[in-house]
Amino acid sequence: MNFRQFIPIQRFREPAPVVAVLRLGGVIGRLGPLRGGLELSGLEKAIQRAFSLRHLVAVALAVNSPGGSPVQSAQIFRRIRALADENDMPVFAFAEDVAASGGYWLALAGDEIYADASSVIGSIGVLFRSFGFADAIARLGIERRVHAAGERKSALDSFKPEDPEDVALLTNLQADLHDAFKDAVRTRRGDRLKGAEDDLFSGAFWSGKRAVELGLVDGLGDLRSVMRERFGEKVRLKPVDGRRRWLRRRFAIGAPDPFAVGEGVIAAVEERLLWSRYRF
């Protein structure tokens, strides 16, 4: 009797390669008590999990952001790069509608960056927005009282006439932030940059197609197609998410704080202004 015919033959299949998909969508930084933007504290667990999946072959960043806080942009970027280097793991960034300003800083975490031909890319600069109400409150007969220790403590006060010394202080601060942004672009893109720095770092933004020509982006393509081309048709795209659940973000237990609601309205306006610059 041939006992081999009774012994089941177990076939071991090689596991499908896994690509972790980390979505980085929205304005970067704190928008107010009721509207959370992209912050390292909220993304830390998701970033860590993205590099901890079994059978991982790459991490893909789905970026759709008009920018925001330069500090949070840099911190998220550095955390992704630190884990990529520690794990010797390639990172691919995919720009969706917008990867501009801080959004492009996030995309720089990718070893390769891809975009749609109509994506908005660039805006490598620093922007400060405010309003001036000095004449308005005077016409309304409102007297504003501010007491500060430190001659520059009330710098850039929207209810005071603009002070050239305050503007100079802001300009120097923006120059430092802009230099940090430019250094990140030079370091990550290197000799792939093809445009003149005066143009690339002017704060201008371009279509994905033009960004490829300037060396800001490596190619045109969507996440699924590029990952299948790179790792095969059987590649598994596994989303990871570390942001708070939808219901928890929008509903709080207890009576609403009227000041928080007011700040939330202002934050919503600021968010809309950031997005509107890149929508056509």
6-31 pLDDT, tens digit each: 555 555 678 999 999 999 999 999 86
Express each pLDDT in 197-255 by its tens digit. 999 999 999 999 999 999 999 999 999 999 999 999 999 999 998 554 444 444 444 44
Neighbours of 45 (CB within 10 A): 13
Confidence of residue 125 (pLDDT cuts 50, 70, 90): confident
**Res 278: pLDDT:** 64
Express each pLDDT in 183-195 by its tens digit. 999 999 999 999 8
Using only C-alpha atoms, what is the Rg of the chain? 24
CATH code at 14-125+190-276: 3.90.226.10
**Res 269: pLDDT:** 55
**Res 141: pLDDT:** 65
Confidence of residue 259 (pLDDT cuts 50, 70, 90): very low
Cα(44)–Cα(38) distance, rounded to whole angstroms?
Answer: 11
Q: What are phi and psi of 199, to 5 degrees?
A: -85, -45
Cα(19)–Cα(60) distance, rounded to whole angstroms?
Answer: 7
Cα(146)–Cα(155) distance, rounded to whole angstroms?
Answer: 12
Confidence of residue 163 (pLDDT cuts 50, 70, 90): low
Question: In whole angstroms, what separates CA 94 from the centre of its chain?
Answer: 12
Q: What are phi and psi of 142, to 5 degrees?
A: -95, 130
**Res 136: pLDDT:** 60
**Res 83: pLDDT:** 98
Break the chain into its structural domains and give their ranges.
14-125+190-276
